[in-house]
Amino acid sequence: MPRPRKRARLWLRPERIRDGKVVANATWIILDGGKHFPTGCAHGEVALAEQRLSEHIAEKYQPKRKLKDIEEIDVADVLNIYFSDKEIEPQHRKRFEGRISRLAEFFGGMMLSDVTGETCRRYVVVRGNSGGARRDLEDLRAAISHHKNEGLHRGEVRVVLPRKGESRMRWLTRSEAARLLWTCWRHREVQAWNTGTKKGKQVATKKRPLRHLARFILLGLYTGTRAGAIASAAFHRGEGRSYVDLDEGVYYRLAQGKRATNKRQPPVKLPPHVLARLRVWSEIPRKDGSMPEYIVEWNGRPVASVKTAFAAAVRLAGLEENASPHVLRHTAATWLMRQGINL
């Protein structure tokens, strides 16, 4: 029986030395089917070499777009087409890739006709996380729907989703919100001495690692904006950015160039005290002397996610652990309803 063919993979070809001199530096090579494909990447360019490998595999394996019956179509082909056609914002790309990879690992090799309630329930068990499995299967459902809308298969395929978890009703009281903001503003990074008689002793530094989160929280509490729109909020208009008009006091939450969805993000008038803060922040230079572009920045760049920082702030403030960044949206709505504002 012939040995199974190995998948395309990277190989670091060692440097070549002749007469005591280096005649060729170490370089990454793609090995595929007994052939060598150069990447042009040196020893230290591992990430770039991996990207070249992904591109090589993608170019090599392009599913045929031809109308077939569901008994003849590999689920991996359906996922591959969806992955190629779907437009994903950069900040969501990594999670999207992770979901597609998990689905391909489980369903790859199955035909579309094999996608049944039984196989979907088995995926939930293997995934081990009902909420995460539901989100993955939603992508599978979307991929199959996209495949059919493109006119590429006959027949009906139904993806069975696990039951939704209970809605989160957590919101912050005024005192909890104040405590969370105060914690973010005051907290200092703690480091341990590495040498000398004080080795191992914990010392508070001058670094304030959560101050950027205070800005995020303030904007979330008083505008009820989703985390992604706050992360992209800028002081000037630009492609892919939401925008704060400091002259008119209006926050345009839908990022420029982004299509409106059912998660409505209409412009919102900023409360006077929040607008005053934003105007001050827009005039505070970065450490390198340049002026800030975004409202919430970390090391001079817009934040991609605040989940880790928010969890740390919640713990330091002594709040319940089930509070997440989305709780700011719940809080904004609850405070407004308690004031008698029309829904």
pLDDT for the residue 275:
94
Q: Rounded CA gap, 90 and 187, in Å?
A: 31
pLDDT for the residue 21:
75
Identify residue 305 by its one-letter amino acid code. S
More confident residue, 279 or 19: 279
Each domain of the chain, given as residue ranges in start order, spans: 1-61, 63-165, 174-187+207-338
Confidence of residue 220 (pLDDT cuts 50, 70, 90): very high
pLDDT for the residue 1:
38
Residue 2 has pLDDT above 50, yes or no: no
Average pLDDT, the chain: 86
Average pLDDT (20-28) is 75
Q: What percent of the chain has pLDDT over 90?
A: 41
CB 70 within 8 A of CB 153: yes
Q: Do domains 63-165 and 174-187+207-338 have the same CATH topology?
A: no
CA 149 vs CA 143, 146, 153, 261: distances in Å: 10, 5, 9, 20
Q: Which one, of 132, 145, 134, 137, lies nearest residue 82 by Cα?
A: 145
Tell me the whole-structure pTM to 2 decimals: 0.61
Q: Specify the CATH architecture of the domain 63-165.
A: Orthogonal Bundle (1.10)
Average pLDDT (65-92) is 84
pLDDT for the residue 19:
78
Q: Rounded CA gap, 272 and 278, in Å?
A: 10
pLDDT for the residue 46:
84
Fold of 174-187+207-338: hpI Integrase; Chain A (1.10.443)
In order, the DSSP letters of 2-64 are: PPPPPPPEEEEEPPEEETTEEEE--EEEEEETTEEEEEEEETT-HHHHHHHHHHHHHHH----
Average pLDDT (215-237) is 92
Q: Rounded CA gap, 339 and 29, in Å?
A: 65
Residue 247 has pLDDT above 60, yes or no: yes
